[in-house]
Structure 1
Amino acid sequence: MNIAITGGHITPALAVIEELQKINGVTITVIGRRKALDSENTESFEFEQVMKKNLRFINLKTGRVTRTVSLQSIYNLFLFPVGFVSSLFILKKIRPHVVLSFGGYIALPVSLIAYLLHIPVFTHEQTIRTGFANKIISRFCKKVFISYEESADDFPRQKVLISGNPVRSEILMVKKKLFSTPARPIIYITGGSLGSHSVNVHIEVILDALLKQFMVIHQVGNVAQYGDWERMSKRKSEYYFPVKHIMDDEIGWVYSVADIVVGRCGANTVTELIVCNLPAVLIPLPWSSRGEQREGADFLQQSGVAQVFEQDRDSTELLKTIQSVYENRSKYKKMYEQLIPQRTRILSASKKIADEITAV
């Protein structure tokens, strides 16, 4: 069975890929974005991860809807037809039996062309607030997998299956250690797959104070625009370990040694925190699509397992919040007991999705 996987959310896609690879006779092609940003030559996290799994990767250049009017947004309008034509050629070439979408602007042309070619399409919605692309894809796909019951009303009811948000099995497995752990508490700081310049700036300001008490693992990202990696990598020391990305074979060890997590709160981070029962300081991206990071941050804070820090506040307040969450980490961890049903659903999501799409 030949399966094409596409979309903007690579982490749950990788989790389902891992499950599909257990099935004999399944071949997988990933259609995605090779470069981290259109304006840079840096390879994307999704491309790096897919290459590590020795899977076929096909780059797709297409347009996206932006909220501002600029030269880039005008350029995007011209890329829309390019994306649809390219999708036609790609699908004609690889001839998949099924297309599995994970939403986002990359998934829309691939899914629509697949439908026109009579290829069954499935899609997964990662967040509570449904994305624009998935609202369209849901009109012609066979089934919509959702992570949260709250998003069910956004789709045709007969197509909805509450699967949960798939997570990589690696987050619960220690495969590769990055260093020998010191006799001090460890903070894992993450800005998402691309890293976060705003988070990096805050950490840069309070880093000396953090290193008096903590060992810091800092996922900086590799976006060249702000030069964060070039600056932060020069500060590597006994108690500061900056990296561009945390890879699949490293993330389980990082979560196993971390006392708390600090950073952005996209759907993947929220899901992984629930699975790993880790107290967190969450810094929602103010302009995240449909406010999805705010939703995730508020959900975990209201559940009593995290604190929210607004990125426009002073860096010294972030330091105090980190210290407070660390000092009260036992209380936060205990509150995760109420999220056991969500954790159970998350851990079965990959198999549920793999079983559905291979039953076609």
Structure 2
Amino acid sequence: MDKERPAHARPGAEPPWAPSTVLVTGGAGFIGSHACVELLDHGYEVIVVDDYANSRPEVFARVERIAGRFVGAVYELDIRDRRALSAVFDRHSVDAVMHFAARKSVRQSVESPVECYDTNVGGTTALLQAMHEHGVHLLVFSSSCSVYGDAGSGLLNETTPVRPATPHAASKWICEQILADICRHRPEYSVLCLRHFNPAGAHPSGLLGEDPQSVPDKLMPYVAQVAVGRRERLQIFGGDYPTPDGTAIRDYIHVMDTVEAHRVALDHLADGPGMRVFNLGLGQGSSVLDVVAAFSAACGRPVPYDIKPRRPGDVAALVADASAVTSAWGWHPTRDLADICRDAWRFQRLNPHGFAGAGRRPHSKH
């Protein structure tokens, strides 16, 4: 059974298209929870599935507090459970799917590649099967810049050859190929594949942010936990890359810009059938030490760090050429690295131990 509450539209909020019910997989996660806020803020009805493998159900009370609306239904399930997933589609008239559910840890994908492929690829095919059985053909797929791998130092556009260097990256690329193939054989499908670069930051309210359940694999939450005193020192993996300061360069995009692009994508699913791929990024690279300096400025204190050997699968630089999405939709990010660090610090300062200890709402289990 699901947990349902009436969803009351906020004053002045009009759905961009009706009916407008969106199933969000992985909706309790970092990007997924922010996407729920974005969708609710714009009048969509939201259904969520999540197994809480790397998230917490506490986020939904915060989502509802920010949006002033309730998520329509939340199901605790693994999307590889085809029977349980099909039951969700039986209960709700879903118009489109926003697919975030996946294992995202690069380190864990290297350590346990089979589990990564099983969740990311197997979960996607299970979702596609449920969508097909219920006549749902509109999908926004959250992919990753990691598919480009070690593609060189220049800006990467959607035609840059992919070179996935880890099981995580390869799993995303395999999913993209599956989706493209389905679109070739099933003209009723419309899929937008968004290769986001490095989503970071938090909701400006400080109520939602990134709260990994173990030692962070990603830079921003690691820096934030050191700054708040939750961890002693930041571990920087690699100080000998061919970059100006020797540390790896990445393109950081604010999580609110990331989810805004996913919401805008819903309006463009009707542009035509088939699969289209777009990069999401600022088009500006920041080194690890750049991020440390920006976060130190945001929190008003130095962030101590040690430089360690490189990790397997990491590459020197990944920076987006994201001009295609601007040309196609007229959309572009509006927040920079300073905004990312400011909002990430606000969340960490207000939630020094993340969501731990927050009151849990009851949730249903399938």
TM-score scaled by structure 2? 0.40
TM-score scaled by structure 1? 0.41
